[in-house]
Copies of this chain bind each other. A is one copy, B any other.
Amino acid sequence: MEKQSIPKQFIYGGDYNPEQWLDRPDILARDLEMLQKARINAVTLGVFSWSILEPEEGVFHLEWLKEMMNTLYARGIRVILATPSGARPRWLAEKYPEVLRVREDRVRCLYGERHNHCYTSPVYRQKVRMINQKLAETFKDHPGVILWHISNEYGGECHCPLCQAAFRRWLKERYQTIDALNHAWWTTFWSHTYTSFEQVESPSTLGDSGLHGLSLDWKRFVTAQTTDFMREEIRALREAGATQPVNTNFMEDYTGLNYYELAKEIDIVSWDSYPLWRYQSDSRTALQTGMQHDLMRTMKHAPFLLMESSPSGLNWQPVSKLKKPGLLLNASLHAIAHGADSVQFFQIRQGRGGFEKFHGAVIDHYGGEDTRVFREVTQTGQALESLACIAGSQVDAPAAVLWDTESRWAMEQARGPRNEGLFYREAVFKSYQALRKCGLNVDLLQVEQPLEGYRMLVVPMLYMFRSGIEDRLREFVQGGGTLIMTYWSGIVNETDLCYLGGTPHGLTDLLGLRSEEIDALCTGEVHHFAAESGAPQYRCENLCDLVRLQGAQTLMRYTDDFYRGYPAVTVHPYGKGRAYYICTDAEEGFYNDFYKEVTACLNLAPILPSMPEGLEVSSRQDEENEYIFVQNFTDDPISLPVPPNAAVLFGDFEAGQVQGCSTVVFRRRRV
């Protein structure tokens, strides 16, 4: 077979499981026709196909797959090929029970569901290596294969004896001596001192669940072990000669892994996006989803893939709403606007049975083309073709919000001022959405990534200071950057030991203040704060930091309770920059007003000179052009002044309006 050159285009496709229909060639043939009609140019094969690929130990059946790939390729449809480790065959669990997970309560699971395998088990690793090698040997040179999809939505943890041993080795590597571990975990408290690494047990409701250093390192270990498992999966492909890029698909706000560690090992970041449209205003859902897109893009400062999304409703949420007409297109272009180079679906065809039989699909049980969903899928395919020139272009952001999974782990497991909710993600979102409403592209930056190049950096609730972040922030402000830091930052070090001598650790001089106490509000309890002048007044909740000024200037003050008059927002010039401190969990309205002022002050130019309320504006750029996406997620048209020097590339911009639930893309030549 001859390798065709792939035109510059967006990947358009999704998960396809023809192995469920091998006894129905009529259906498979019909599928192919429909895929072509819908402009689908790539499908993902092999996710969860292990029991078909290797029905008995060491007996491989790959013919059907090869045939399917040939047929697809002949129609111009390429393949993203999955390694099948996301679910193993029954025979594997039956013969080697060690591959089954052990729960935190030390009970070994039975075979079942999906992600129920030990990532440490040598047997499981070996069996995965073999099937991966087989796949790579067979398909490495197939011209249709454009990408490897490593496993599926890695997640979960195992507490089996093999994992306990691996955890102990990992700790020994990290701490060298048991005394170092004892100090790091502060085990003198409650007489928890270890006298040997052999005494370490993973966190458990049967044992230690409140030893925070242990819990935190366990989470790190789970990430490390999963990453190592993935590395071994990739190595198997490479050793067998596969040269295509690899990726693995992430989930929204999955807190079991630090995805940034996995991202380092793959070529392309991708994720599975399942927003709950029509639960609240779609504009708000779009903003929230956009933050997740931006997080994925920022991990590699590069285009990502939207590996899964639903053509219609879901089936695993409490309530599964349909996508309303037009939303499929609008949401798909939303991913593109934020830097995606693909729109992919779970799933191409609904299975007749199983857990996800009612999940939205390009082709449903009815099976015909005369469905609303299929029409919209086709319409989206056409749109992507017409926007193909944008594929591969970059996103440039002048502002960033810092994100750190490890800090969040530590913060959320600690018993502190507010155990019924700290709202870390919400705090990040409050700053994110306000910056977006200022008309800016925004990066969601990992704490370890370089700070250079940004004009403005928001650091919300960075409970844990690690990776020398305090020094790098100092340098950033010194050099002219604008820093906004909030309450509950710089409290602990990387093993969750509290810093002594005043917080935010190492930055009290930069911020010109020290946090003295922090008060917590009950759920539903609201306080307020206001500018010196008294108006406007903003609401705040959850946490109120009481700071002692050491040079900072008070911009706003609390107006309630015994700390009425205490500072709520401060600023401190430092070096060539400025450092703001926000003491409390303020309402979004505050952030909107405040960042408008700060960005104006900094002359941070928005993508569009004027930002009509209700529109979501993003831009991508290549060497020659800037592509401006203006998206309306409301039901009503919104007027927009024609962007200067820009031409409509896509969409209905009649009468200077962006229609309800639609997108207009402008092209602007870069000067």
Contact = CB atoms under 8 A, between A and B. Distances in A.
Residue with the highest number of chain B CB atoms closer than 10 Å, among A89, A499, A517, A523: A517
Contact of A319 (B105, B185, B189, B522): B522
A114 B190 contact: yes
A193 interface: yes
A313 interface: yes
A192 B523 contact: no
A189 B562 contact: no
Interface stretch (A121-129, A299-307, A490-498, A616-624): A490-498
A56 B195 contact: yes
A227 B587 CA distance: 53
A496 B206 CA distance: 33
Given A110-B207, A195-B55, A190 B498 contact: no
Residue with the highest number of chain B CB atoms closer than 10 Å, among A355, A372, A416: A355
A415 B87 contact: no
A56 B194 CA distance: 11
Contacts of A186: 20, 351-354, 357
Contacts of A110: 106, 201, 204, 206-208
Contact of A497 (B106, B191, B353): B353
Contacts of A20: 186, 188-189
> What's the dominant secondary structure at chain A's contact region?
loop
A645 interface: no
A48 B523 contact: no
B208 A87 contact: no
A366 B514 contact: yes
Contacts of A90: 192-195, 199
Contact of A107 (B206, B415, B514, B562): B206
A111 interface: yes
A365 interface: yes
A96 interface: no
14 contacts: A17-B189, A48-B191, A87-B191, A89-B191, A90-B194, A90-B195, A90-B199, A186-B351, A211-B354, A313-B519, A350-B498, A353-B498, A358-B417, A366-B501
Q: Which 5 pairs, one residue from A and one from B, show the smallest C-beta to C-beta distance?
A: A186-B353, A110-B207, A189-B354, A112-B207, A112-B208
